[in-house]
Amino acid sequence: MFCLLVGVFSLLSTIQFLIFDLNEVIILDYEAQFSIYMEADPGISPWVLTHKRNIRAGLSTVTIVVSFWLLYCSHSSNYAGLLGSALWAVAYELTSFCMVLLMNRSIKEQFKELSYLHLIFQVSRMLLHFFCLPFIIKRTYTLYKDTKASRMTGRRKRPSISTIDHSWSNVWLGTWCRT
């Protein structure tokens, strides 16, 4: 039951942050082209700033699909899907956190409060996702143990020849010889 709530939370929070990210204003004055980010030295930071929307859209799209997968696996009791969803949540949050740190280095001094806001949003979302992970892992472990136990009980050994009861064959022979 809790895994369903985690899936719905993950889905809705991803959509919410995707809307925030795609509607973020980067250039304040379109005529003067005044940006909130500094001109960065060559490296990974300007590349992240340039492709931020595409990276966020791609990560969010995959996370939305994984959230639906989490809902399906929770409903169908698929432990491998639950584990994969938990691993993706960790990868998604760590990637997003790294992106926020890279972008915070590039924000101009006048807009440092905005970088703190980005960081607070990211850390709060990470804490909420990571708070839910133990419940998913516990459910995954329970389903794994149940699946393993059901496989063990499903295997029945056939009786060997030495354990066959031959007492009924004597009764049948005895009734056949009497007639």
Find residue 27's DSSP bridge partners: 35
pTM: 0.73
* 34 phi/psi in degrees, rounded to 5: -85, 115
Would you give per-residue pLDDT tens digits along the chain (179 residues)?
778 888 898 899 889 888 888 877 666 666 666 677 777 667 677 788 888 889 989 999 999 999 999 899 888 888 888 899 999 999 999 999 998 888 888 888 887 888 888 899 899 989 988 998 888 889 888 888 887 766 665 555 555 555 555 555 555 555 555 55
